[in-house]
Every structure is written in structure tokens, then in C-alpha cells.
Amino acid sequence: MIFDWPARMRQMADFVGFTDDDLELLRASGPLLIDRADDLAAAVYEHFLSYPATARYFLTRDGEVNETRLTRRKHSLARWLRNSIEFNIDEQFPVFLLAVGVVHSNPPAPAGRHGSVPARFMTGTISFIQTQIASTLAEEMDDPTAAMRTAIAWNKMLMLQLDVLLAGYITETPTPPRPDAPLMDDDGREIEPEVTVTPDSSRRNGSPQTHQEN
């Protein structure tokens, strides 16, 4: 696990192919999306309230919507969206994201009364936001190709954020490589040493196919 968070974000940016062009597209979409940040935040919270599993974080003991908390949360989300529009892998943004992730994975009181927000809803929320942003861009931009490229840039950038947002949830316990371990086929049978393994791209799960060497 890498704990230099900006370095980790840069590594992931490289992995998902988030380029300087993507950054430019993102920045160019700023004015358009900043105007819609409050609407986007409102749509996210409307969505939360329409599912009992996510609505419960925003209800009073009597089961009514806690309007004060909801308004505060909408502002927090709109602020996060604005920060995202100014996306930059500096020292601060990854730490801000980590803190936001921890508020959800290990919520402090008073929100802690409801327990953690399950990680799958963090993933689902990012997906929901990606869809909202792509739809907004498609509606508002005249050039459909530019709208699609901008949506792709946003998708990649939000995945980079999700990696950090989920860090408070995930405990990775990687097993080290074992170069001397026997080579197994898909059914767990040991493959003979003289048999080579070559990837076969026609197999949809990407698993290798064995064949005898001549």
C-alpha cells in the first residue's frame, strides 16, 4: 500500500490514462458545471432520500427528513464538486479526500449514530455523479464529441477520487509473490514444467490456455 497520497494519485492517474488534455477539458467545463453545482448536489440528495438504505442517514428519530442536516450536507457536496472542478494533485486535495472518506467509513458523532456509510454507496454515488455530469455536458455543450471527451475526463478523475475516498474502508493484505510455487491451471491442477502458458485473447475471462511445446 502506498501512503504518499499525492504519489499514489499520480500513479493512478497514469494507470487510468488521465492526461494533461483531460485536465484541460475538465477545467474548460468548470464555468458550465459550477453554475450547476447546487442542482447536482440537490439531485444526489434527492436520490439518497429515495432509498431507505441511504435515506436513513438524513432522518430524525421520528423518521422525518432532517432538513438542517440535509441543507448542510448539500453545501458540503457542492463544495466538494467545486473543489473537483479545480482538480489538482497537490498535497492538499488527497488529504481532503481522505478526510471526507473517513467521515463516511468511521463517522464521528452525531452522524456516527447511524454507523458507517457502506462502501458500495460511495461507489454508487460516484457512478450517479458521473451520469449526472455526462448528461449535463451532453445537454449544455454544442459539440457532442467534445461533450463525450469531457465526460470521459470527468469519469477518470472521479475514479481517482474514489480510490482515495475508499481508502478508509479497505485493508489490503497482499500476499507476496511466490516465484517457486507450482504453476496451476484454472482447475488447480499442476501444469507440467515442459508445458508453456500463453494468453489467449479469445477467452473472455482472460485466463491462459495451455498447449504442449513442439
Minimum Å distance from CB 183 to ligand HEM? 41
Say what the alpha-carbon torsion angle 40, 46, 52, 54 is, to the nearest 10 degrees.
30
Smallest Cα–Cα separation from 46: which of 165, 54, 79?
54
Minimum Å distance from CB 57 to ligand HEM? 4
Pick 8 or 104: Cβ nearer ligand HEM: 104
Minimum Å distance from CB 178 to ligand HEM? 37
Q: Which three cell numbers stand for residue 185?
A: 491451471
Residue 1 has, within 13 A of its CA and on its CB side, a CA count of: 10
Are residues 100 and 165 in contact, defined by beta-carbon separation less than 8 angstroms? Answer: yes
Pick 45 or 141: Cβ nearer ligand HEM: 45
Pick 33 or 77: Cβ nearer ligand HEM: 77
Pick 108 or 177: Cβ nearer ligand HEM: 108
Minimum Å distance from CB 103 to ligand HEM? 4
Instruction: Give me the residues that bind ligand HEM (CB under 6 A), please.
Output: 48, 54, 57, 73, 76-77, 80, 100, 103-104, 107-108, 111, 117, 121-122, 125-126, 165
DSSP letter assigned to residue 58: G
- Amino acid letter for position 35: D
Q: How many CB atoms are located within 10 Å of the residue 60 CB?
A: 11
